């Protein structure tokens, strides 16, 4: 029983006591979808920054070594491009440990909607191959450099020290061939990684790529 004060309109009092009308189903679904999109997980900020910085360094390492092939031997520009290639490779190597730590510290957000099992497996294998490449390829470059008697020179007259008593040019050539072959193979692995990200974004329409943006 609803008590009505004297002088009050009974119809208005009844309306005030009536529970609010439920929102239309369309509006409710739109609101829920908006909230879900806003809450969609992404990688932590350190993971994203380290990923894109590593991507830039790998791209620069490839760019400098490719440009070096078009410059005449013995020229200062060719030597500069070689040094830039070394710097980029060292940067890739130095970033590897922070990248692994950040991934372990912050975890990996789930993909929404969940992809097929074989796609997840392929993604894990590709990531494993990429991380091995980020470790092995710069180390091979350093081995070649040490065996060949070369050095990495930094601004201010600093240089990476040599750890060998004498160079071994023949062995350096053998390791350089491995280094170059691995670099060519990973053109395709990196291309597969990029193609997979674009496939997820434009065809599967999940948030694989958005997690890293």
> Domain-by-domain residue ranges, the chain?
44-108, 111-213
* pLDDT, position 27: 61
Task: Give CA torsion, residues 104, 110, 111, 112, to 10 deg.
Answer: -160
Give the separation between CA 50 and CA 61, rounded to whole angstroms.
16
pLDDT digits (tens, 9 = 90+) for 56-97: 999 999 999 999 999 999 899 999 999 999 999 999 999 999
What residue has token string 């004060």?
Answer: 5
H-assigned helices in the chain? 10-17, 25-38, 45-68, 76-106, 117-148, 169-199
The answer to whether the beta carbons of residues 135 and 195 sit under 8 Å apart is no
Residues 137-174: tens digit of each pLDDT:
999 999 999 898 888 888 877 778 777 778 888 999 99
Residue-wise pLDDT for 174-195, tens only, equals 999 999 999 999 888 888 888 8
Q: What is the mean pLDDT of residues 127-134?
A: 91
């Amino acid at each position: 029983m609803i008590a009505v004060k004297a002088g009050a309109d009974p119809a208005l009092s009844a309306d005030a006591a009536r529970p609010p009308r439920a929102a239309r189903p369309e509006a409710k679904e739109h609101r829920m979808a908006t909230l879900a999109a806003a809450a969609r997980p992404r990688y932590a900020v350190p993971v994203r920054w380290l990923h894109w910085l590593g991507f830039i360094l790998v791209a620069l390492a490839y760019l400098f070594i490719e440009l070096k092939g078009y410059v005449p031997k013995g020229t200062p520009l060719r030597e500069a491009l070689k040094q830039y290639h070394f710097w980029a490779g060292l940067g890739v190597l130095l970033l590897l440990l922070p990248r692994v730590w950040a991934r372990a510290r912050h975890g990996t957000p789930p993909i929404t909607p969940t992809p097929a099992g074989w796609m997840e497996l392929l993604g894990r294998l590709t990531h494993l191959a990429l991380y091995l490449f980020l470790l092995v390829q710069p180390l091979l470059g350093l081995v070649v450099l040490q065996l060949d008697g070369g050095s990495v020179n930094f601004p201010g007259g600093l240089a990476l020290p040599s750890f060998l008593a004498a160079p071994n040019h023949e062995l350096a050539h053998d390791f350089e061939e491995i280094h170059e072959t691995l670099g060519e193979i990973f053109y395709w692995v990196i291309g597969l990684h990029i193609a997979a990200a674009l496939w997820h974004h434009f065809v599967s329409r999940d948030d694989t790529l958005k997690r890293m943006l």
